[in-house]
Amino acid sequence: MTKTTGSPKNKSMQNTASVKEFIDSLDEQTLTDSKALIEIMQRISGIKPKLWNVGTIGFDAYHYKYDSGREGDNFIIGFYPRKGKITLFLMDGTARYSDLLTKLGRHTTTGYCVYIKHLSDVELPLLEQIIRKSYENIKSQDGHINQILWKVEE
């Protein structure tokens, strides 16, 4: 049984399982892409990866407390690898990066997710730039996040 830490109100929780063991269980292509993303995100954050929930690999953390009273911790940047579709999480939303995302390559987006089939489908330097900007934006808020960032109009 895997231990998790976090508030009962918080849906995102750290998982004590090994990131290495988790990614080693993936198919070859997803493993290769995951190793590349881990390298990029670790370079950006300076933090080693941790598992969150079941299979999300996250880097660094921030605390949020909404006006509604809901509070918790979440990773700042991260991804969820699965065969044929990697989900990248931009916790401050994809809308603020729309200009860069139009040049990224083959992908789709939702509020705070970028979906990529394989890293070879996108421009890695541009992807790294987007991830870096997202990381720096959340870090600049110094843990004072009181609203869902990806729903905030810029």
Q: What is the pLDDT of residues 97-141, one digit of tens each?
A: 999 999 999 999 998 899 999 999 999 999 999 999 999 999 988
The pTM of this model reads 0.84
- What tens digit of pLDDT does each residue of 128-139 get? 999 999 999 999
The total of structural domains in the chain comes to 1
Burial label for 41, CB within 10 Å (0-12, 13-18, 19+), is buried
Does residue 20 lie within any of the structural domains?
yes
Does residue 127 lie within any of the structural domains?
yes
- What tens digit of pLDDT does each residue of 44-82 get? 999 999 999 889 999 999 887 777 888 888 899 999 999
pLDDT at 11: 52
Does residue 47 lie within any of the structural domains?
yes
Are 59 and 77 contacting, i.e. CB atoms less than 8 angstroms apart? yes
3-state DSSP assignment of residue 27: coil
Does residue 2 lie within any of the structural domains?
no
Residue 101 belongs to what domain range? 13-146
- Say what angle helices 124-139 and 28-45 make with each other, to 10 degrees: 40
Does residue 4 lie within any of the structural domains?
no
